Amino acid sequence: MTHPKLVEAMSRPDFYPHRPEHVELVQTHISYIFIAGDFVYKVKKAVDFGFLDFTTLNKRRRYCSEELRLNRRLAPAVYLEVVKIGVDRNGNIIFGKGKHVVEYAVKMRKIPQERMLKKLILQGEVDCSIMDVIAKKLVDFHRHAETGGKIDKIGGIKTIRRNHDENFAQTESYVDLTIPGYQYSFIKSYIYDFMKRYRRLLAGRVAEQRIRDCHGDLHLEHICITGSGATDAKDLLSEKRYTPDGIVIFDCIEFNERFRYEDVAAEVAFLTMDLDFNGYPDYADAFVSSYINHSHDHEIAKLLNFYKCYYAYVRGKVVGFRIHDIAISQKDRDEAARTASRYFDLAYTYAAFPEKPTLILMAGLMGTGKSVRARCIAPRLGADIIHTDVLRKEILHIEPTNRHHDDFGKGIYSEDMTRTTYEKALELATEKLKSGRSAIIDASYKDRRYRRDAYRAARSVHADFFIIECTCPEDIIRERLDARMSNSKRASDGRWELFQAQKESFHAITEIPARLHIVIDAVQSPEECAYKALVKIKSFSP
């Protein structure tokens, strides 16, 4: 175990030979980090999480040496040496060996916090072009990283499966604490299905030596843009000031080879996931595009979502461990639970994301909750929603919230206007499908001819297609329609006196393969409806 006096001693400025003005202690679930002036000392906690074991002094010494060696590949000026922490004859913790060694620490040069990539992006000091330079550095790093032999063996399919087996086993007790049970089941099903269907691709990556001794923990907080002292974005990104040499990537995985011996696609996915998590999807897209362009590794596109799901899950797991860490405050444990849940939710989104563009018709009678459920499903599929209630009024240059109490099939809801609206909605959706995005058209789709048109359009651009039909008891529909009429911000003009007419004219959905027709009970919560729809989409996607 860690010496009981160590944290107190290393928190004092007079402990260090260079006598810093003050010392700041930062804790992670596996380390004590002492920021002492211009230097940082990192001590490993005596913990065993299964995937790492720092429980003995010899193990901590070994992994300190590994941390130094491995991180010098991408940050040679930062990682300086492994230092000994000892006790003197009076039992005091001292810098150096002393009477005997009680701990080891990795000594590092302090990295300027104001130059961290996460902070620079947040402050708008760098644009998406920074990702091209980072991609170049990583492509070069991966090209020269070790491969073959033990690395190929450890980084192959068996290890990929083992990593996932471990993830699910270690998070089982966290179900409904940091990850909802339905997300746990959905992600688990997706992962094992992907490994089964793409086993040949995964095996081929090993044969092509795409498995390398990587960084293994590549996220925004491990990248620093040192540049040349530039003070604004234009100067920072200039050709003279900004090169891969000015990028420091630190804190790689040293404690477990199977987390570091991995497909370069996984490394790309980790940073991409972290950019997504922090709300920078444009930077993520730029990074992936640049990496593929510089590496010519086009298979990454097929593997990216699988590995993004893996790393989001890993982050959720690791952050979630902190909820049981008595060394941190209750406030920090509560925040860890919230953050872990966000990571798991992101993993769920990756698991649900379609492998190719998908067109979904959100169909059903008025008041069945189509729009609310469309808004819940769309983010999981990366889909844009086309609301025909809004589109119809846009075509007529009418404010969306401007009420029109026309009779059924009359006025702005005439057959001619409905046809124009549906044709425009399908045109917009098809454009999105061609650009690689998915689309949801939110409309009643009571007439099978419009549904057939949509089905044919999706097939013509090689997109997947589903109809999600919302159903609901009529007493609940009436309540919803009455409430809708009192909401001045809603675009829909649907009301109870029109419901029966629409019901009588609704064509049963029989014109498409049954597996593409998903019926959901919209009495259930939007999230539950979305989950059930996504399960069926994943199960029956061509």
**What is the reported pLDDT for 233?**
41
15 and 6 Cβ atoms separated by less than 8 Å: no
| pLDDT at position 11 over 50 | yes
**What is the reported pLDDT for 467?**
98
Distance CA 156, CA 154 (A): 6
**What is the reported pLDDT for 481?**
74
| pLDDT at position 470 over 50 | yes
Query: Structural domain boundaries of the chain?
Result: 6-110, 114-352, 358-540
Distance CA 468, CA 361 (A): 6
375 and 385 Cβ atoms separated by less than 8 Å: yes
**The CA-based dihedral angle spanning residues 321, 324, 325, 331, taken in that order and rounded to the nearest 10 degrees:** 100
Report the CATH superfamily, name and number, of domain 358-540.
P-loop containing nucleotide triphosphate hydrolases (3.40.50.300)
For the beta sheet containing 79-87, the strands, ordered from the edge strand earlier in sequence to the opposite edge, are 23-27, 31-36, 39-44, 100-109, 79-87, 93-98
**What is the reported pLDDT for 405?**
57
Please give the average per-residue pLDDT across 288-307, as a whole number: 98
Q: Among 78-87, 238-247, 450-459, 513-522, whose mean pLDDT is lowest?
A: 238-247
| pLDDT at position 26 over 90 | yes
What is the pairing mode between strands 23-27 and 31-36? antiparallel
The tens digit of pLDDT for each residue in 482-492 reads 676 665 455 55
The tens digit of pLDDT for each residue in 322-363 reads 899 887 899 999 999 999 999 999 999 999 999 999 999 999
* Cα–Cα distances in angstroms (integers) from residue 155 to residues 119, 152, 207, 468, in the given order: 33, 5, 11, 40
Q: What would the two tokens of residue 299 be? A: 């298979």
The C-alpha angle with vertex 172 and arms to 171 and 178, in degrees rounded to 5, equals 60
CATH class held by domain 114-352: alpha beta
Q: What would the two tokens of residue 223 be? A: 């990248």
Q: Among 43-52, 171-180, 304-313, whose mean pLDDT is lowest?
A: 43-52
Could you tell me the pLDDT band of residue 539, with boundaries at 50, 70 and 90? Answer: confident
**What is the reported pLDDT for 485?**
61
CB proximity list for 90: less than 8 A, separation 6 or greater: none
Q: What percent of the chain has pLDDT over 70?
A: 91
**Amino acid residing at 316:** G
What pairs with residue 116 in β-bridges?
224
* Cα–Cα distances in angstroms (integers) from residue 364 to residues 469, 471, 502, 519, in the given order: 5, 7, 10, 9
How many helices (H) and strands (E) the chain has is answered by: 21, 15
For residues 328 and 203, the model is more confident at 203
| pLDDT at position 234 over 50 | no
**What is the reported pLDDT for 238?**
46
Please give the average per-residue pLDDT across 498-508, as a whole number: 80
The tens digit of pLDDT for each residue in 235-291 reads 554 444 568 888 999 999 999 999 999 999 999 999 999 999 999 999 999 999 999
| pLDDT at position 227 over 80 | no
How confident is the prediction for the chain on average, in pLDDT? 91
| pLDDT at position 411 over 70 | no
Distance CA 422, CA 194 (A): 36
**What is the reported pLDDT for 403?**
56
Distance CA 62, CA 56 (A): 10
Q: What percent of the chain has pLDDT over 90?
A: 79
What pairs with residue 86 in β-bridges?
94, 101
| pLDDT at position 529 over 60 | yes
Q: Is it true that 114-352 and 358-540 share their CATH fold?
A: no
For the chain, the 3-state helix, strand and coil shares in percent, each to the nearest 5, are: 50, 15, 30
| pLDDT at position 538 over 70 | yes
| pLDDT at position 474 over 60 | yes
Category of 44 on φ-ψ map: left (φ > 0), alpha (ψ -120 to 50) or beta: beta
Please give the average per-residue pLDDT across 449-455, as a whole number: 97
The C-alpha angle with vertex 523 and arms to 343 and 474, in degrees rounded to 5, equals 155
**What is the reported pLDDT for 396?**
87
**How is 261-320 classified by DSSP, letter by letter?**
EEEHHHHHHHHHHHHHHTT-HHHHHHHHHHHHHHH--TTHHHHHHHHHHHHHHHHHHHHH
**Backbone dihedral angles phi then psi of residue 522, each to the nearest 5 degrees:** -80, 10
Q: What would the two tokens of residue 313 be? A: 């899950």
Q: What would the two tokens of residue 305 be? A: 């979502």
Please give the average per-residue pLDDT across 183-192, as a whole number: 97
Could you tell me the pLDDT band of residue 73, with boundaries at 50, 70 and 90? Answer: very high
Q: Among 209-218, 223-232, 509-518, whose mean pLDDT is lowest?
A: 223-232
| pLDDT at position 399 over 90 | no
CA atoms 267, 270, 272, 278: torsion sign: negative
**What is the reported pLDDT for 43?**
98
Q: What would the two tokens of residue 62 be? A: 């070994």
Q: What would the two tokens of residue 201 be? A: 């691709």
Q: What would the two tokens of residue 390 be? A: 């809004």
For residue 124, how many C-alpha atoms fall within 13 Å in the half-sphere facing its CB? Answer: 0
**What is the reported pLDDT for 235?**
53
In the three-class reduction of DSSP (H, G, I as helix; E, B as strand; rest coil), residue 343 is classed as helix
Helix ranges restricted to H, 208-248: 233-236
Could you tell me the pLDDT band of residue 503, with boundaries at 50, 70 and 90? Answer: confident
Distance from the first to the final alpha carbon of the chain: 54
| pLDDT at position 169 over 60 | yes
